[in-house]
Structure 1
Amino acid sequence: MNWMYNFSMKIAELLMPLVALFSSKIRVFWSGRKGVIDAVGDFRKRNPGALIWFHVASLGEYEQAKPLIKALKERNSTHKIAVSFFSPSGFEPAKNKPQKEVDFICYLPLDTPRNASDFVANLKPSYVFFVKYDLWNNFLSELKNKKIPIFLISAAFRQDQLYFRQKGFFRNQIFFFDHIFTQNQESQKLLDGIGFHTHTLAGDTRFDRVWETAQSAQEFPEIYAWTGGKPTFVLGSVWQEDMEILIPLINQNNNYKWIIAPHSMDPKPMEMWQSKLKKPSVYYSNWDTNLPSDILFIDNVGMLSSLYQFARIAYVGGGFGKGLHNILEPLGFGVPVLFGKVHNDRKFPEAKTSHEIGCGFKVKNFEELIGIVESLEDQGNYELAVKAAQTWLAENVGATDRILNVLTRWMGKA
């Protein structure tokens, strides 16, 4: 299996330049990785000493990593922090603005034995953290061979994953880790079931992140003035499938101001949605605040997590498509959140739990959406949902501290 995996990686590496000619996404994916190993080497020549490496798949996992990154940097500011991304949707937004506690960001090269060996040799990490998933066999094997401590944080495993269905190549990747920090007890049971016992139930670091964001949210005085004290509905990371049921709601409901933050910054979907909306709308990037409007399109990246401070109710997109986005961000502000009914909520345990405790609400069509919005307009129902969100957050904050307590065995006070 190992040779088949390496062969497939080599073929992918050879074909990528050709595929990039026909796909803009692959072009960004491929071009961003050119020269990355040399860039790592240049960075380390200028910045020797201890370094902690975090690998994340995309932006959501980077948000999960941030509380631990911040805590480790505060404990010892002399340690450099490097973050690698697999996906352009994570790397591209991160590279375009300062990352306070992070000294270096880059793409992770394709997982060939040569790339793994050269990357690790140039980066020279003292400790390595993978976040939630996105495990790469050759990188893990190289780190293990060099006896560099490897940790997995915010892990949330499922019975149907290959790690637990059969012995061999994929299961072996679990045993490369020195310690795994899980989000839930189910993950612990699955690890015990395959004989991996060096794990700790720490919880989900996203709770720490959303709590921190809620405590120090970015201020937007112009948006505050625009709301004028009127209830505001924030639609975050929405896709076309979400807007198909949200546009009729907006057109017939005059009780709210509406903030719409699309998943993609492609202007075409926003222009299409705007043409179907019956209320006046503006774009944040060229907003004339003197013009009356009920709808504000957020056509840039990086604001959304703080925009939920304005919400009475939030809707988070992606549930009808490839995957639900982060519903914990609005819940961190005590805001009830609606979302499309996901096909497999085992992949999104926060959706299942929020629904069960009464602060998250699944919708599968426009009729259900209307019914839940009307229910939340009852003050009693609304206060129950807010209380459920606040209680859930308070019960789950602290994953970062639990991880740090265990890490002292390897890292001391660093």
Structure 2
Amino acid sequence: MPRLIYSVIFYLLTPVILLRLLYRAIKAPAYAGRWFERFGFFTPSDSCKDIIWLHAVSVGETLAAVPLVKALQAKYPDHRLLITCMTPTGSERITAAFGDSVDHCYAPYDAPDAVARFLKRVQPKMLIIMETELWPNTVAACCKRQIPVILANARLSEKSARGYGRVSGLSSPMFSQLTAVAAQHGDDGARFTALGLPAENLHISGNIKFDLDLSIQIRQSAAALRQQWSGSSQRPIFLAASTHRGEDEIILQAFSLIKQSVNDALLVLVPRHPERFNQVGDLCLEAGFSLARRSNNDLTDTADILLGDTMGELMTFFGACDIAFVGGSLVANGGHNMIEPAAWGKPTLSGLSVFNFAEVSRLLAEAGGLSLVENAAALAEAVITLIKNPEQAQQMGRQAQQIAEANRGALDRLLVVIDNSLSG
């Protein structure tokens, strides 16, 4: 009965959902396209191969899935991967990362008819969901058709667990239907079982984001970019990555303080969402800074700030900077992936809101590779200290990198879970 009520509400809200897509299309026109996919109208390109369906809701999950997709392609060459997402930026990342080596579309809305239509057309042999993008009707429909559902690299914060607990009549059956959950940490796993996941279906595999691959090509690109940005004067480069609304102002306040002590510092500012690029550029100019844009290939010789207004380059930016701040953390957003700068051996800074990466931030902070700051003044002080004490910055970077290296191996453990579920 709870799922029936949920489905009725979903259908009633569908016009509102579509209006929201139109509203978002004002700033990001791609939201106005490919609506038919969101209602389950999709046909795989190769009808002769069995499909493994992998869902990555947006950019972060897509990037985390890159090594997994490559491993699945190597392990199951007779299968075709279908990768779904919910956002245009996620779609762009999937296309850029995999091209036509995979099928791709938007995931169907969690309405019974859309899900049924999609499953009938695709007939997947397995559904792998990245992290926590769970939908009751999708899970139930797969269970009914005996399609294994794996929650990969799963995390569940206390806040999210409380939310699921408030609708236990709907969420408990869904958790009980999951074939396997490969959780990042034991605390995540305990929350899943408390919400209804059978204990035998829980596996603690670690975080596959530690298994990222810094190829020779990306290392060379980062080195070239660093030389371009720092110039002959070797100016220090401070990267503020994946910033959110309300956070850019704090970064700019901090940078004003930094410039008073380190006048030649360059801030590379990368907003999380592309629809905010121009807005953040305007904020930089209003604050009195000279601005260069990455999308224009502007020179940074005389610029105070380089606006990272491109997609798909953030990993390279981490390799090119001296100090990295990971955004979504000075506002109540839960933070973003600080494993990436750690893998490069960069001293890493973050705000206090890190519930999306609670275990990662704990490991890095305890090892001395991550410093948490609460406001603009504290951020500025941390950056100035690291710039003026390069040995301290190098030591902090080494400690971060050691944690990144020590926690690799989650991908192999996840592949065992997937193989057992697919063959079983």
Asked if the contact 2:51–2:123 (Cα under 8 Å) also holds between the matched residues in 1, the reply is yes
Asked if the contact 1:13–1:110 (Cα under 8 Å) also holds between the matched residues in 2, the reply is no
> What does residue 398 of structure 2 align with?
387
- Structure 1 residues 47 and 378: CA distance shift in structure 2, 3 A: same
> What does residue 77 of structure 2 align with?
77
Superposed, 1:13-412 pairs within 5 Å as 13-20=14-21, 22-24=23-25, 29=31, 31-35=33-37, 40-41=42-43, 43-44=44-45, 46-95=46-95, 97=96, 99-100=98-99, 102-160=101-159, 161=161, 162-163=163-164, 167-193=168-194, 194=196, 195-209=198-212, 212-213=213-214, 216-217=217-218, 219=221, 221=224, 223-228=226-231, 229-247=234-252, 248-252=256-260, 253-265=262-274, 266-278=277-289, 280-289=290-299, 292-321=302-331, 322-342=333-353, 345=355, 348-376=358-386, 377-411=388-422
Give secondary structure in 2 for the equivalent of 1:48.
Answer: coil
Give secondary structure in 1 for the equivalent of 2:211.
Answer: helix
Asked if the contact 1:336–1:360 (Cα under 8 Å) also holds between the matched residues in 2, the reply is yes
Bigger drift between 52-61 and 213-222 goes to: 213-222
- Structure 1 residues 282 and 131: CA distance shift in structure 2, 3 A: same
Give secondary structure in 2 for the equivalent of 1:105.
Answer: strand
% same residue:
22
1:374-400 CA distance string (max 9 Å, x none):
332324432331222111111111111
Task: Report the TM-score when normalising by structure 1.
Answer: 0.88
Cα deviation for residue 335 of structure 1 reads 0.7
Once residues 187 and 92 of structure 1 are traced to their aligned partners in structure 2, the CA distance between those partners, rounded to angstroms, is: 30
- Structure 1 residues 285 and 379: CA distance shift in structure 2, 3 A: closer
Give secondary structure in 1 for the equivalent of 2:318.
Answer: helix
Bigger drift between 164-173 and 393-402 goes to: 164-173
Instruction: Name the one with the larger helix percent.
Output: 2
Task: Report the TM-score when normalising by structure 2.
Answer: 0.86
Once residues 56 and 346 of structure 1 are traced to their aligned partners in structure 2, the CA distance between those partners, rounded to angstroms, is: 16
Once residues 331 and 306 of structure 1 are traced to their aligned partners in structure 2, the CA distance between those partners, rounded to angstroms, is: 13
Once residues 377 and 300 of structure 2 are traced to their aligned partners in structure 1, the CA distance between those partners, rounded to angstroms, is: 36
Residue type at the aligned position of 1:316: V
Bigger drift between 254-263 and 170-179 goes to: 254-263
Bigger drift between 298-307 and 401-410 goes to: 401-410
Once residues 67 and 357 of structure 2 are traced to their aligned partners in structure 1, the CA distance between those partners, rounded to angstroms, is: 23
Once residues 297 and 157 of structure 1 are traced to their aligned partners in structure 2, the CA distance between those partners, rounded to angstroms, is: 33
Give secondary structure in 2 for the equivalent of 1:213.
Answer: coil
Asked if the contact 1:85–1:107 (Cα under 8 Å) also holds between the matched residues in 2, the reply is yes
Cα deviation for residue 159 of structure 1 reads 4.4
1:112-142 CA distance string (max 9 Å, x none):
1111111111111112101111101111111
Cα deviation for residue 324 of structure 1 reads 1.6
Unaligned residue ranges in structure 1 (runs of 5+): none
Asked if the contact 1:351–1:360 (Cα under 8 Å) also holds between the matched residues in 2, the reply is yes
Residue type at the aligned position of 2:342: L
Once residues 364 and 276 of structure 1 are traced to their aligned partners in structure 2, the CA distance between those partners, rounded to angstroms, is: 21
Bigger drift between 356-365 and 378-387 goes to: 378-387
Cα deviation for residue 239 of structure 1 reads 3.3
Give secondary structure in 1 for the equivalent of 2:133.
Answer: coil
Cα deviation for residue 169 of structure 1 reads 1.6
Residue type at the aligned position of 2:345: G
Residue type at the aligned position of 1:174: F
Cα deviation for residue 93 of structure 1 reads 4.4
Once residues 300 and 196 of structure 1 are traced to their aligned partners in structure 2, the CA distance between those partners, rounded to angstroms, is: 43
- Structure 1 residues 182 and 285: CA distance shift in structure 2, 3 A: same
Cα deviation for residue 54 of structure 1 reads 0.5
Unaligned residue ranges in structure 2 (runs of 5+): none
The alignment covers a number of residue pairs equal to 406
- Structure 1 residues 232 and 171: CA distance shift in structure 2, 3 A: same
- Structure 1 residues 268 and 409: CA distance shift in structure 2, 3 A: closer
Once residues 388 and 163 of structure 1 are traced to their aligned partners in structure 2, the CA distance between those partners, rounded to angstroms, is: 36
Asked if the contact 1:239–1:318 (Cα under 8 Å) also holds between the matched residues in 2, the reply is yes
Cα deviation for residue 323 of structure 1 reads 3.7
Tell me the C-alpha RMSD between the 2 structures: 2.8
Asked if the contact 2:258–2:383 (Cα under 8 Å) also holds between the matched residues in 1, the reply is no
- Structure 1 residues 200 and 32: CA distance shift in structure 2, 3 A: same
- Structure 1 residues 27 and 234: CA distance shift in structure 2, 3 A: closer
Once residues 267 and 192 of structure 2 are traced to their aligned partners in structure 1, the CA distance between those partners, rounded to angstroms, is: 44
Asked if the contact 1:338–1:363 (Cα under 8 Å) also holds between the matched residues in 2, the reply is yes
Once residues 129 and 40 of structure 2 are traced to their aligned partners in structure 1, the CA distance between those partners, rounded to angstroms, is: 22
